[in-house]
Structure 1
């Protein structure tokens, strides 16, 4: 898994300097009593596996914490399915300490059978929404997808390598939000202030982590975060009671028990290629603990998120959050799907993130 980190493509390694240091630890979780074969046992649940990669020379003030999306692990950011350097190598080369992790109850983070229902994505779904979306044309932008390496179909070595990395995940988002908010908050308590880069499902965790520890979240880079506000859209349905999260997040004035005071209004789509948006009814409540955290929200041109991520941006701005929208197609970076950080132009996109971080 560390092939990219040790590759000669990395500048520091080409010069024969010391290689990145790797260590790991577990953080978070809690002890609970469960019944196994008619006997009560104490076990720990909700802890996460964290891998710390430290470059030979650290010249950035804050590390980067990566949190992968549904069905994924921290390996997403080590390298690409076709064995090119991933974002971990890129940001190590730019002097950042990098933290890779597996979400709670996933991958190397233990799952207890008493908590949640495990599901897995089949090959057809992965092809349709991640790797071969232009062949299926399920949304208007799908035909623009050109950046996945290879055909994106079963039997292609790049697809097979990617699909081999897919893991089971808890179906109930409420459980995942709860466990992961607690675990990643504990991580920040341990390591101090950091930039957080979230992807997809983990986007909701980023908002709640920032809400819980605004003083420790230096910035949030939200790669196609869970959305749109309040409601799901195909291929993933389900409501978000608190707007951009399933579970409670702090509003000012307060949103009330179960967000009963968070009123919404439906806004027509901006054109036929986009969905309508459900936003707050004005005057909008503010996400008071996120207001001072810089946010970069990034969307691929051909992704299913291209239809509605603008709604998330509007919701955040309405709630007082300082968010920059990197709509990659509009910026001249074309052809990306949902897994943009491992597609053919992944380092071009990483450079877009690096430049934004450098301005903070």
Structure 2
């Protein structure tokens, strides 16, 4: 019952009038500013590494390269788009998941406008970031600075993990791939989606969290939307700066703070967790969801609001882990927007 206790109420609260949604998504945008920044990081000193002779460009003479010295490391990058007349009270920060970058939010693999554009048109200033060690945030040497080595996701791993179909349904040949019959992911664009994949580490959570915390200090007060691996970073960022984050929306978060975390700090920060379909028969996601529901229970027990948008319980079937890319992504974004409006986050 707990998974579905809000389904009927949230369906009514989150569903914006169709006419208003359509109008918001077609009006011209008036932009006040587009910019970017890097936040966080530190200076690391490397010593004792051998010099190398490197040719930087074809036809250029070789150069002796000394890899020792001081380096700026562990920073993160964010781009912002600010509206001339925002209708939201706070900027909206979009945080991506593991092995991905801020591209997650920009354009869907089949070429439709992503959630960045949706929420700009809904009246939010929108910030899109690349986590520390991803995308435009840049790497650092490993294992000298980043411990361990990067992980590279195969094209087939995500087929089952992101719940397009059973893992056994993956095939290198697109015509032979087997997806769930009701899958909402734009299946012909799976290979295009995989071009977004980047290496990630499994050993850098501390550094990533430090960079996100610096980001919150630079960009907030704000509303934060997190996805997958970004979930625990968002939950923890709210614990670390409850005066800066006004609401947190977690789209299929894959992790949560430990039982010992002080959820009472979050009693004034409304939380929403969004789930897609086909979780029950996936052992990984079933365990993840149980952990997230434990954390939501702690928030509610401390007097806070921790709502759930369970799409299948609302009769919306077939959504993958990549909800913001599925063919009904705007419908889901509209319900998230309705939730924010119901929490007084719009002017």
Decide: shared fold, TM above 0.5.
Answer: yes
- Measured in 2, the distance between the counterparts of 1:82 and 1:143 equals 19
After superposition, the C-alpha distances for 1:84-121 in whole angstroms (9 at most, x for unaligned) are: 11101110001101110001011111211221311110
Q: 2:265 aligns with which of 266, 289, 299?
A: 289
**Paired position in structure 2 for 1:147:** 184
TM-score (norm 1): 0.73
Question: What is the distance in 2 between the residues matched to 1:129 and 1:215?
Answer: 35
1:30 corresponds to: 42
| Structure 2 match to 1:201 | 229
The 1-side partners of 2:28 and 2:227 are apart by: 33
1:136–1:171 Cα change, 3 Å: same
Candidates 280, 293, 299, aligned match of 1:313: 293
Separation (CA, whole Å) in 1 of partners of 2:137 and 2:237 = 19
Give the Cα separation in 1 of the matches to 2:106 and 2:92. 13
**Counterpart in the other structure of 2:157:** 125
Ranked by relative contact order (alpha carbons within 8 Å, sequence separation 6 or more), the top structure is: 2
The equivalent residue for 2:174 is none
Note the aligned Cα RMSD (angstroms): 2.6
> Post-superposition, which runs of at least 4 consecutive aligned residues in structure 1 deviate over 3 A?
9-21, 134-138, 142-145, 303-306
Note if contact 2:29-2:121 (Cα within 8 Å) is conserved in structure 1. no
User: Any conservation in 1 of the 2:25–2:122 contact (CA below 8 Å)?
Assistant: no
Deviation at 1:131, TM superposition (A): 6.1
Judged with a 3 Å threshold, the aligned counterparts in structure 2 of structure 1 residues 124 and 42 are, in CA distance, closer, same or farther, namely: same
Normalising by structure 2, we get a TM-score of 0.76
**Cα displacement string for residues 291-337 of structure 1 (whole angstroms, at most 9, x for unaligned residues):** 32111011111244752414422333135342101111001221111
Paired residue secondary structure (2:161):
helix
Distance 1:333 1:90 in 2: 20
CA contact (8 A) 1:50 1:99 kept: yes
Give the whole-Å Cα distance in 1 for the aligned partners of 2:44 and 2:275. Answer: 39
Q: Secondary structure at the match of 2:264?
A: coil
**How many residues of Structure 1 are paired with residues of Structure 2 in the alignment?**
288
- Secondary structure at 1:356 match in 2: helix
1:82 aligns with 2:106: no
Deviation of residue 12 (structure 1)? 7.0
Aligned-pair CA distance for 1:143:
4.3
1:70 aligns with 2:82: no
Inter-CA distance 23–107: structure 2 relative to 1 (3 Å threshold): same
Q: Is contact 1:71-1:166 (8 Å) kept?
A: yes
Output the CA distance in 2 between the equivalents of 1:314 and 1:137.
Answer: 32
Q: What is the rounded CA distance, in whole Å, between the counterparts of 2:292 and 2:72 in structure 1?
A: 35
Structure 1: 5+ residue runs without aligned partners? Answer: 1-8, 151-155, 230-239, 244-249, 252-285
Give SS of 1:30's match: strand
- Partner residue of 1:329? 312
Change (3 A) 1:45 1:12: same
Which residue does 1:302 correspond to in 2? Answer: 278
For structure 2, which runs of at least 5 residues remain unmatched after alignment? 1-20, 51-66, 171-178
Q: Which residue of 2 aligns with 1:182?
A: 210
Q: Classify 1:11/1:20 alpha carbon distance in 2 versus 1 (closer, same or farther; 3 Å).
A: farther
CA distance in 1, matches of 2:323, 2:25: 25
| Structure exhibiting the larger radius of gyration computed from Cα positions | 2
C-alpha separation in 1, matches of 2:27 and 2:164: 38
The verdict on how the C-alpha distance between 1:135 and 1:32 changes in structure 2, with shifts beyond 3 A counting, is closer
Task: Please give the residue correspondences for 1:93-172 in structure 2 after superposition, counting only pairs within 5 Å.
Answer: 93-113=121-141, 114=144, 115-116=146-147, 117-130=149-162, 132-134=164-166, 136=168, 143=180, 145-150=182-187, 156=188, 158-172=189-203
How far apart in 2 are the matches of 1:349 and 1:17?
A: 21
Deviation at 1:215, TM superposition (A): 0.4
Distance in 2, matches of 1:20 and 1:14, equals: 18
